[in-house]
Chains A and B, each alone.
Chain A
Amino acid sequence: MEAGTTTPKRSYRIETADRVSRTAAVLAALLLLVLVLLPGFAGRNLIQDLIFLFYMMALAQCWNLLAGYAGLISVGQQAFVGLGGYVLFALTLIGGVNPLLAVPGAGIVAAALALPTALIVFRLRGAYFAIGTWVVAEVYRLVFAQVKPLGGGTGTSLTPTVTSSVPGIEWIKTLFDVRTPAARDIASYWLALALLVATLVFVYLVLRSRRGLALGAIRDRESAAASLGVDIDRIKLAAYVATAAMTGMLGALIYLQKARISPDAAFSVLDWTAYVIFITVIGGIGTIEGPVIGAIIFYLMQRYLADFGAWYLILLGTLGILVMLFAPRGLWGLVAGRYGLTLFPTRRRLVVDEDDGNRP
């Protein structure tokens, strides 16, 4: 310090993670391990509940990527759930394809059909896009209701040969000493867990990538992003097709587990879009944490309140409206805003390292 004029040197770094998120990553890895091993000691009911929780959470992540980041508010994602389900049924029942291969097959078909769909619905802006996607979902439903080999309007079931042909069923039966139906559930459970993790990793990587930055810019202000040279339509299209693929695979998995499909159920706006929107909004739209929390809350409500039928749905609708009006960033937004938390760090933060110049 002899010079007395030494100004502290500063160095700047750009970081996305902080200590909380690094701790969260370790905890998440532990949680994942527990979840993978869970079928060894959990009952069949819990496994079935968790399958439901996982796929709702994954669907919500997909919708969140669309609406919360790409600004594409779709009310028609049931199109791709139903499509995925029907493709799985067609491939396995008619094509004799193994169900495990049919799941990615459903994703490919969904993505392939999402492209022409986008060409039409992207002509509608904003809120009109929302209803346009709903019309498209109705078209899918009405078309599949005409496909007689798949049961037409009444639907059809997977044969036991198909459902037990998932690879590893025999192995699971001996490993856990269970009967075939329980083994099927365990296989579905692992598949659902794998798809959920894949969705989370995918969304996380997308948001951390350059494209993700562009998506953030679109969410914040579309016209400004356009003037900075972000090719908005291309990025929106990519987000739409990618989520269609994920949603299609989830749909295939959901109907592999259900083993029975009908147009009204597979293309239900309530089951596959309304619930998913409420999960995302209640949890917190525009964050990865939001849909996770929203799905857990939704699962608990569904488990303890679903017996109230119509009243339960009225409550859910009211809750969604209240959150939108009074806490538009959702429950996670409230928590994160108060404590500055982030578990899935996607934002880049400027870190200033003060250096007093004394250290070598």
Chain B
Amino acid sequence: MTGFLDAIIQGILLGGLYALFATGLSLMFGVMRLVNLAHGDLIVLAAFAILAVAEKLGADPFVAVLLAAPVLFAIGFGLQHALLNRTLGRDLLPPLLVTFGLSIIIQNGLLQAFSADSRRLRSGAIETASIPLGGDIAVGVVPLLTLLSAIAVIVVLNLIFYRTAIGRAFRATSDDLEVAELMGIDVNRTFAIAMGIAFVVIAIAALYLGLRANFDPTIGPVRLLYAFEAVIIGGLGSFWGTLAGGVILGLAQTIGARIDPEWQILSGHLAFLVVLAIRPRGLFPRAVD
């Protein structure tokens, strides 16, 4: 029984990480209707960026992410403005192909720059610290911070979306691009800002990816799949739905792993397919696709 309860708690905490992966993807779809096949690779790229800053300056990853975040915002802004905005339109193929191409470029660029070795972000004692909850159950500080950060990111994003002028512009542009232009909204710039914000979320996701486990240049695509599954399970259009989707995916993986460690990832995928079969619009849908 303790084992089962432990699995639930660890699953929810793991879900925090998946929610962080998924929130950036959800943001891009919500504003630009962009499905970004390079999302996982961008998370890995950001993890390497944090690693590089941390190693160069001898800084803690939590400090390094603060330095890397503005740079990543700028990269996201530039990427959307210079490249991805050109791909958006009625035809689905250009954004898919261009982000697929980016995925391959990023993976191989990282291989060239950092080799295929597994890396990890180091932050001293906090990595192994845990809080005992009584019984045999304890929660790691880093996993707990991951979940809290996911919640904080979603709270902040909701504030931006529902309390600020740029958030209004995000929603309006997503509703009706043409009328948004009639309102004087510079759509290209609005999308670029949204991508910049998504990149900051990616940086936060990358921090916890690197603190919780090893990473190497090839692990991006599987992170994309987790992020995608969390978004679809939760239902499009709501960040809280995405958090729920991440938690469900985390639970499915952890419970699967308790049955047989080799089934961890497979159980996550199967949970996704089951949700898709039963509730194709996700568990908490909001947006009309």
Given A75-B100, A123-B276, A130-B37, A310 contacting B95 (CB threshold 8 A): no
Question: Given the complex of chains A and B, what is the CA–CA distance between A275 and B111 in angstroms?
Answer: 19
Interchain CB contact under 8 A, A132 and B97: no
Query: Which residues of chain B are near A134, meaning CB under 8 Å?
Result: 221, 225
Specify which of A143, A281, A317 is in contact with B105 (CB 8 Å cutoff). A317
Measured CB to CB, the closest approach of chain A to B94, in angstroms, equals: 5
B133 touches A (CB below 8 Å): no
The answer to whether B262 has its CB under 8 Å from any CB of chain A is yes
| Residues A325 and B87 in contact in the complex (CB < 8 Å), given A123-B276, A143-B266, A281-B97 | yes
- The answer to whether A120 and B265 have CB atoms under 8 Å apart is no
Asked if A126 is at the interface (CB within 8 A of a chain B CB), the reply is: yes
Q: Are A320 and B273 in touch, CB under 8 angstroms?
A: no
- Chain B positions 100 through 121: 1 when the CB is less than 8 Å from some CB of chain A, otherwise 0: 1111110111011000000000
Say yes or no: B109 contacts A131, CB within 8 Å: no
Residue with the highest number of chain B CB atoms closer than 10 Å, among A126, A131, A270, A325: A131
Q: Specify the chain A residue showing the minimal Cβ separation from B38.
A: A317
Q: Which residues of B contact A138 (CB under 8 A)?
A: 222, 225, 265, 269
Across the interface, do B232 and A128 meet the contact criterion of CB distance under 8 Å? yes
Does B48 sit at the interface, judged by CB under 8 A? no
Inter-chain contacts of B232 with A (CB < 8 A): 124, 128, 132
Does B141 reach chain A (CB closer than 8 Å)?
Answer: no
CB B49 to nearest CB in A, in angstroms, measures: 18
Chain A residues positioned under 8 Å from B71 (CB to CB): none
From known contacts A120-B276, A274-B104, infer whether A130 and B96 are also in contact, taking CB-CB under 8 Å: yes
Interface string of B79-99 (1 = CB under 8 A from A): 000010011000111111110
Q: Do residues A324 and B276 form an inter-chain contact, with CB atoms below 8 A? A: no
Cβ proximity bits A98-142 to B, threshold 8 Å, 1 near / 0 not: 000000000000000000000111011111101110111011001
Q: Are B276 and A270 in contact (CB under 8 A)?
A: no
Which residues does A use to contact B, with CB under 8 Å? 67, 71, 73, 75, 119-121, 123-128, 130-132, 134-136, 138-139, 142-143, 145-146, 269-270, 274, 277-278, 281, 285, 309-311, 313-314, 316-318, 320-321, 324-325, 328
**CB-defined A-B contacts under 8 Å, sample of 12:** A120-B276, A126-B35, A131-B228, A135-B225, A135-B269, A139-B266, A146-B262, A270-B104, A310-B109, A318-B101, A321-B101, A324-B94
